[in-house]
Structure 1
Amino acid sequence: MKTALTLTPLFLAIAATIPPLAHAADAPAADGFVEGSSLTINTRNYYMNRDRRDTHTDDSKEWGQGLLGIFESGYTQGTVGFGLDAHAMLGLKLDGGGGTDGSSILPYGSGNGKAPGSFSTGGGTLKMRALDTELKAGDLFLNNPVIAGGMTRMLPETFRGVSLTNHSLDGWMLEGGQASFAKLYNQSGHGRIGTSYGVLPKGQDSQHMTWAGVAWSGLPGLTSNLYAAELKDVWNQYYYDLDYTYALNDLVSLNPGLHFYHTQDTGHALLGDIDNNTYSLHFTVGVGNHSVTAAYQRVNGNTPFDYIAQGDSVYLDNSQQYSDFNGPNERSWKLKYAYDFAGLGVPGLTSAVSYISGKTDLTKVDSNSRGYSAWYSADGKNAKHWERDIDLKYVIQGGKAKDLSVRLQWATNRGSNGYSAVDRDVDEYRVIVDYPINVF
């Protein structure tokens, strides 16, 4: 009797990353555990003001100082090298922070309506390298289309698990892994990995997230990614993108691109039935220091496009400062203009202005859905909302303050009665000051 073999994403990733023997002679030379070490510290000062215009909920005004130190060792000598990475994070409350709105700057949920004066966390990662393959186990900084911590808040999100990457073939990167726990942006401890929009049944959590993917950049200007992931007993999610930049001449460039996600419930389906296809298309024309982007995004399904909680694994063109435009059955359009002030003799100063409009039919959402019933709206047949974003950033180019950056962001969101009050009328302001320090 034959035994069936289940090709899970993690199994495929491990199999794919076993390097051919032909690459043994090309293995990168180890710098040594100490010689290859580095230590960086990033200081981030973050202010966020959410002005809720049409609700009785208090506005959120939070200001904090974040410190993130990352140590990365080199690898020991030999065919198989070993190393150790470690990090420490500290968040300080400078002002405000009732913390009840979940703005992801300061901790919330303490029970007294006030964020603590500080919060901190740390972690370590054991790593091993053989030829062109690297294995890591511990606390991970992840950044791919199906699981990404990102750096859009004061401190980053990290994940606890294992990851495997391989660079044996020129122009190819293969990776896979599994994570069971996540440390959220504004929390000290770890919890079971979860989702951003779905409400899991009380006492029931997904045990882990498994993923595998391949990134390709084999031709000039052309990149593509293909990923598969399983959030156990919640969903299987698949992602594909294709992006091409073509230079017509030294002044003009064209950049079309596609992002596509398919999400399907699996196992015990803790969030209920999910059958969601979400995609976005963009086309950018660059002329010197100017660029104009037009984008279209569509969610096909009676559940929102969902992703890992508080993460940045939403690689869609219309994911903006405030809204992701990812509601059930939502269609949205975007027009964006960006300018690099290097053209006026001010290198390091960049700007962007965007306008996005979306509409959907929320009456199709199952009001008894196990995980997404909150999206149902009896008067949401023609629900609409729009967002306007202004983004201005300056990075110091030289001197003792080299690489210090100041970023100003302003988002205005307005919507109809079909959307929840939180998604209707909001003005959000952010001021972010970053100063990276390379210790060694």
Structure 2
Amino acid sequence: MKKQKRSIALSILLFSGFMATAAASHADEADADASTRHTEAPPASPPHTEADAPVSSQAKSNGLIEDSHFNLLLRSYTEHDDLKGSGKKDASVLGAQAVFESGYTKGLIGLGGDVSLFGAFKLNGGEGAGNRVHLGTDGGGSGQLAWAYPGVWDVKARISNTVVKYGQQLFDNPFLVPHDNRSLPPTYRGFSLASDEIKGLTLKAGTVDAVLARGMTSVTGLTTEYGGTHISRFIYFGGDWTHDADTAVSLWGGIANDVWQQYYLSATQSIGDPASIRWTGALNYYYTSSIGDQRQGAITNNAYSLALSGTHGAHTVQVAYQQIVSDQTFDYMGQSAGDYLSNSLDVDYNQPHEKSLSLTYTLDMKRYGVPGFKVSLWGAYGWDADGSAMANGNSAQAAAYRINGQPIQGTHYQVGVIPSYTVPGGKLKNTSIKFYYMHHHSNSPYYPDGTSDVYRLMVNLPVNVF
């Protein structure tokens, strides 16, 4: 317990330091990349003026009902998985999200609330389909034809440009962003705070204690994605800072009680113009270490990716290198897409000591007179995965690092293509159609992800009622 308290105190101290640094960013923002853009010290930024401060959203409130919105999101989800040697999984489900968002009462502090109804109707899918269709708390329930439940509900308060909420929510941060690849997304229960008081800087913090998982209609406890370890509470804090369209920095921390503390850093810098060529470099880095009772064992994990992309007109090419510097698998929160490393694809390339390289090509057909149509193709290769240190150790997690009786090891590759079309205007504006084909090939029977083919079709139809 003392170790965990010290970890939390250190986390708060680091977060406070980041806040102070970010608040002073107007004075020294150019220094960060002086070595690449300047041969001498950059000029000082102009003094802060009232025009730099965002206008208070609460001051512009028209009222609880007057600023309310009611939206529908209708989705058709179809998936076919061919898992070589492990059978096939088929599912076809129609999903709907009906979401009412109130405005805020007038005054210094505005009050409001949001409520939604999520529902789904199964067209196809049976035993073995898992969370692609309905999933009961006992692991069964795939025979359910239709299901509905309050997917989002919350009470909220706003002062100036800062909002506090409590309830079942769709979170938007690097640890809890929903893994939205089924008919309905997962949501988490807890408190959230989001603040946009400083221009270009968004600060967030919160805590969650339960999740409405994909395919389920009742809340369950939190778990880690790969370890499956129960977490009584997860705390997060951090922020995103942007300077014009070229520079962005994010720094976040998260605490999974008695399991781990995790820190995330990302930095993105772009130069140039797409008319000639626009270069973008990106760093993503996670540090994870065990805390408290170490319910998932002793963890010291560094995971990072470096990506460089070039855009010329309609064409973008990206190359990315990723490495896990640890004896443990890089893990994250269950039901989230909380792996922002560049090579987190259909397979995460996140096994102990694993290295991976990917190449992605994206074509934006807007440049050729077809706005809204895009095609992405990629290939990735992973090597040097080695789980022997954990598999041969005496920890309770040793068995998780053995596949078919041997430590995790081997090479593997993946190729994929995603054509998509989003309606750019008219009555069906923002309606999207996206098809996925992903082939993963494992060269080793001792790697956790086997050879598979995944076909997925997602159609989203948003409707703004009022």
- TM exceeding 0.5: yes
Compare 151-160 and 221-230 and name the one that shifted more.
151-160
Tell me the SS of whatever aligns to 1:373. helix
Match of 2:62 in 1: 31
Match status 1:154 vs 2:183: yes
Match of 1:7 in 2: 9
Tell me the SS of whatever aligns to 1:191. coil
Q: Structure 1 residues 114, 131: closer, same or farther in 2, change over 3 A?
A: closer
Which of 308, 315, 334 aligns to 1:290? It is: 315
Match of 1:433 in 2: 459
Aligned length: 425
Q: Structure 1 residues 300, 75: closer, same or farther in 2, change over 3 A?
A: same
Kindly provide the amino acid, as one letter, of the partner of residue 328 in structure 1. Answer: P
- Indicate conservation of the 8 Å contact 1:384/1:418, yes or no: no
Match of 2:71 in 1: 40
- Indicate conservation of the 8 Å contact 2:274/2:312, yes or no: no
Match status 1:182 vs 2:211: yes
Instruction: Provide Cα deviations, 1:409-434, integer angstroms capped at 9, x if missing partner.
Output: 000000122434x6121000001111
- TM score, norm. by length of structure 1: 0.90
Instruction: Provide Cα deviations, 1:94-152, integer angstroms capped at 9, x if missing partner.
Output: 11232x35454442665667331122220410000112211101111112112222423
Q: Structure 1 residues 11, 193: closer, same or farther in 2, change over 3 A?
A: farther
Moved over 6 A (4+): 10-17, 22-25
Tell me the SS of whatever aligns to 1:168. strand
- Indicate conservation of the 8 Å contact 1:195/1:307, yes or no: yes
- Indicate conservation of the 8 Å contact 1:150/1:156, yes or no: yes
In the alignment, the residues of structure 2 paired with residue 47 and residue 144 of structure 1 have an alpha-carbon distance, to the nearest angstrom, of 27
Match of 2:81 in 1: 50
Match status 1:166 vs 2:195: yes
Match of 2:450 in 1: 424
Identical columns (%) = 27
Superposed displacement of residue 401, structure 1: 2.7
Tell me the SS of whatever aligns to 1:144. coil
Instruction: Provide Cα deviations, 1:1-23, integer angstroms capped at 9, x if missing partner.
Output: xxx99637579879969x9xx99
Match of 2:375 in 1: 351
C-alpha RMSD of matched pairs (Å): 2.6
In the alignment, the residues of structure 1 paired with residue 140 and residue 333 of structure 2 have an alpha-carbon distance, to the nearest angstrom, of 28
Gaps of 5+ in 1: none
Tell me the SS of whatever aligns to 2:366. helix
Gaps of 5+ in 2: 24-49
Which of 301, 321, 331 aligns to 1:276? It is: 301
Q: Structure 1 residues 171, 108: closer, same or farther in 2, change over 3 A?
A: same
Higher helix share: 2
- Indicate conservation of the 8 Å contact 2:402/2:446, yes or no: no
Q: Structure 1 residues 113, 79: closer, same or farther in 2, change over 3 A?
A: closer
- Indicate conservation of the 8 Å contact 1:9/1:210, yes or no: no
**Could you say which structure has the greater relative contact order, defined with CA pairs below 8 angstroms and 6 or more residues apart?**
1
Match of 2:396 in 1: 370
- Indicate conservation of the 8 Å contact 2:179/2:335, yes or no: no
Q: Structure 1 residues 101, 306: closer, same or farther in 2, change over 3 A?
A: farther
Which of 140, 144, 161 aligns to 1:116? It is: 144
Kindly provide the amino acid, as one letter, of the partner of residue 174 in structure 2. Answer: P
Match of 1:323 in 2: 347
Which of 189, 199, 206 aligns to 2:228? It is: 199
Tell me the SS of whatever aligns to 1:245. strand
- TM score, norm. by length of structure 2: 0.85
